[in-house]
A and B are shown apart, each in its own frame.
Chain A
């Protein structure tokens, strides 16, 4: 610490707190710190929930009534990618702000874990190329809508469980379960089921996040 103490008497002589003031200050400071260190803010999850609902809803609207199934229309894909881009930008900003000035083993493990999950997400789409190569276009609706969420959802659930982050574990497991069942509904309805399921999972996680941020450390 290379700073010069500017006024030791001021720093040393603060007026004492009564228990209520101390409890209020402890709660307020803890809640503020939790909010500032939160890499996954509840408001962002609310936004993510509505984004997936609109994006997947649009994809479903574009494939509804297709006989034979030809896949989502370019406008729906463009809307989905545009919205995903906004979510990625907000998520990156939230991650940078929460981790600014923070270092240590947990921070490192979080960065590595997220890097691995991101790589897994990309590899799932690379793997999709194998289906195209073999001419299996019929699964196009099912695979991109569900497989990344099933595979990466399970991996993220295991990672979150290792960190004892139970709300995130439940959310990721919920996403994987929705993906598995959505795949059963076929290439058209899987988009709709995924949109609704992912939206509910995000909103559920956001509700828990809001509750956790307001939770008092003094009063149970």
Chain B
């Protein structure tokens, strides 16, 4: 097995952090954009680029709601995203076992 077989969407430091953080929540639960940003330590602009890429791949969903007057965005890992992280973790295990 080679590193090329690792999911390129997840095998990027920031996106790996996003997916791993969201995967720590119970299945179906979502996290607000601001808390995710706080936990990952990224600027809103950079975070949104990575979120869009993951959303386009179907790894996460985002939802906009209105909390009073302020808009609120929440993001959640989809079952596809969870499976992708599982496969990525297994691939890492295989790679590390072979090294």
Least CB distance from B96 to A in Å reads 6
Tell me whether A6 and B46 are in contact in the complex, defined as CB-CB below 8 angstroms, given that A30-B23, A218-B89 are known contacts. Answer: yes
Q: Could you tell me if A14 and B14 are in contact, using CB atoms closer than 8 angstroms?
A: yes
Proximity string of chain A (9-26) to chain B, C-beta cutoff 8 Å, 1 when within and 0 when not: 011101111111011011
Whether A101 contacts B34 by the Cβ 8 Å rule is yes
Report the separation of the CA atoms of residues A106 and B21 in the bound assembly, to the nearest whole angstrom: 16
A26 to chain B, nearest CB (A): 5
B residues less than 8 Å from A30 (CB atoms): 20, 23-24
Whether B76 and A104, one on each chain, are in contact in the complex, defined by CB atoms closer than 8 angstroms, is yes
The reply to whether A22 and B6 form a contact with Cβ atoms under 8 Å apart is yes
Beta-carbon contact of B99 and A19 below 8 Å: yes
Residues A5 and B46 in contact, CB atoms below 8 Å apart: yes
> Whole-angstrom distance from the CB of B4 to the nearest CB of chain A?
10
Chain A residue with minimal CB distance to B12? Answer: A14
Cβ of B92 and Cβ of A218 under 8 Å apart?
Answer: yes
Secondary structure class of chain B's binding surface, majority of residues: helix
Q: How far is the CA of A34 from the CA of B28 in the complex (A)?
A: 16
A32 at the interface (CB under 8 A from B): yes
Contact present for B16 and A26 (CB under 8 Å):
yes
B72-99 at interface with A (beta carbon < 8 Å): 73-74, 76, 89, 92-93, 95-96, 99
Which residues of B in the span 36-69 have a Cβ within 8 Å of any Cβ on A?
36, 39, 43-51, 62, 64
Contact partners of B30 in chain A: CB under 8 A: 102-104
A67 at the interface (CB under 8 A from B): no
- In the complex, which residues of chain B have a beta carbon less than 8 angstroms from the beta carbon of A3? 33, 44-45, 47-48
The answer to whether A23 and B92 have CB atoms under 8 Å apart is yes
Given contacts A22-B92, A23-B92, A217-B89, contact A101 B35 (CB under 8 A): yes
Among A1, A4, A25, A34, the most chain B Cβ lie within 10 Å of the Cβ of: A1
Complex interface: chain A residues within 8 A of B3 (CB): 16, 18-19
Q: Does A37 contact B (CB under 8 A)?
A: yes
**Chain A residues near B (Cβ < 8 Å):** 1-8, 10-12, 14-20, 22-23, 25-26, 29-30, 32-34, 36-37, 100-107, 217-220
What is the interface of chain B, defined by CB distance below 8 A to chain A? 3, 6, 11-14, 16-17, 20-21, 23-36, 39, 43-51, 62, 64, 71, 73-74, 76, 89, 92-93, 95-96, 99
Report the 9 A-B pairs with minimum CB-CB distance, sorted nearest first.
A101-B35, A6-B45, A104-B29, A106-B26, A33-B24, A101-B32, A3-B44, A11-B49, A29-B20
